[in-house]
Amino acid sequence: MPLIVVTGVPCSGKTTRSTELKQFFESHGKEVHVVSEFDQIIKANFEKNAFFSDAAAEKHIRSLLKSEVLKLITQKNVVILDALNYIKGYRYELYCGSKANKNTQCTVHTEINRDEAWKFNEKRPELERYIRDTFDALLMRYEDPDGKNRWDSPLFVVFPGQELDKSAIMSCLFDSEPVVPNMSTQNPPLNSTNLYDLDQVTKKITDGLVKSKNMGVQGAVKIEDFPHLSIDISNVTVQKLMILRRQYLSYCKLHPPDTKQIPQLFIQYLITSLQ
């Protein structure tokens, strides 16, 4: 699917524009998937301000977002990544993933006056609000997209109250040829060690879930050896678990995961697939 990377400082209207784009493309008969950073933060039980003060937690969620985006990308419809996407290198990684899958991509930058953004923040519900220190830190970290960079191009900049040129976005995604992948954007194959780890970890997790199912367990189940991970197995069959594991292994051969993150990514894959 063509990829739209939505980026901007806090409270600049990223989710509003993502929703606007989703409705536009759906009205033109396209299937649209919105991958939301905020949703992933909530699912992981992080408090937003604490989350953005924890580099390891941020890295974990960025990996989940990237994994979800690359899983959804094909050459037919639209994936929208609704997130801060404030790191230039991370946007480049998304570009490489999109390029490797022979898909088109564009960037939508929701620009805003910083004082106005803070005023919008103060009007938010308390649970969705940034504290001042977190807000200012994210402003300092933000690396503005540049249309001269191939990974940010084509770049569409939009301010609050301004009309977003959705037709131009649609044209650049569906009427232009994708960038031809080269060696730098091809996913390296899994080596024998990583392949073994992937097989063993996913097998152990799946076997544990199957055992719980066979014992008649319902609801959320904690994963053996990974007590911080859990999944609701109420509405999944043993056969479905086996199928999902095989699908995940096939997916990982094209998109090799960080070995250390296999448990988290596999559980997140199961949760997303069962929704």
pLDDT in tens, 31-70: 999 999 999 999 888 999 999 999 889 988 998 999 899 8
Give yes or no: residues 58 and 107 share one domain. Answer: yes
Give yes or no: residues 16 and 143 share one domain. Answer: yes
How many other C-beta atoms lie within 10 A of the C-beta of residue 181?
16
CB contact at 8 A, 70 and 255: yes
Give yes or no: residues 124 and 222 share one domain. Answer: no
CA neighbor of 187 nearest in space, from 247, 261, 258: 258
Where in the sequence is the domain holding 233, given as residue range(s)? Answer: 192-273
Answer with the residue of higher pLDDT: 75 or 121.
121
| CA atoms of 225 and 93, how far apart (whole Å) | 31
Give yes or no: residues 178 and 269 share one domain. Answer: no
In the chain, the number of structural domains is: 2
Which tens digit of pLDDT belongs to each residue from 161-210?
999 999 999 999 988 776 655 444 444 555 555 777 888 889 899 998 88
| CA atoms of 33 and 21, how far apart (whole Å) | 11
pLDDT at 12: 96
CA–CA distances in Å: residue 172 to residues 99, 159, 215, 245? 15, 20, 53, 36
Token pair for residue 177? 């040829």
Q: Which of 156, 185, 214 is the last residue of a domain?
A: 185
Give yes or no: residues 18 and 109 share one domain. Answer: yes
Give yes or no: residues 150 and 175 share one domain. Answer: yes
Bridge partners, residue 156, by sequence? 108
Which tens digit of pLDDT belongs to each residue from 89-130?
999 999 988 888 888 999 999 999 999 999 999 999 988 899
Q: Which of 137, 158, 185 is the last residue of a domain?
A: 185
Give yes or no: residues 116 and 7 share one domain. Answer: yes
Give yes or no: residues 143 and 196 share one domain. Answer: no
Give yes or no: residues 181 and 221 share one domain. Answer: no
Give yes or no: residues 208 and 179 share one domain. Answer: no
Q: Which of 166, 185, 204 is the last residue of a domain?
A: 185
Give yes or no: residues 77 and 8 share one domain. Answer: yes
Q: How many residues does the chain have?
A: 275
| 4-18, 178-192, 215-229, 249-263: segment of lowest average pLDDT | 178-192
Residue partners of 59: CB distance under 8 A and separation at least 6: none
CA–CA distances in Å: residue 78 to residues 75, 136, 172? 9, 32, 12
Give yes or no: residues 147 and 225 share one domain. Answer: no
- In this predicted structure, the answer to whether residue 247 has a pLDDT above a threshold of 70 is yes
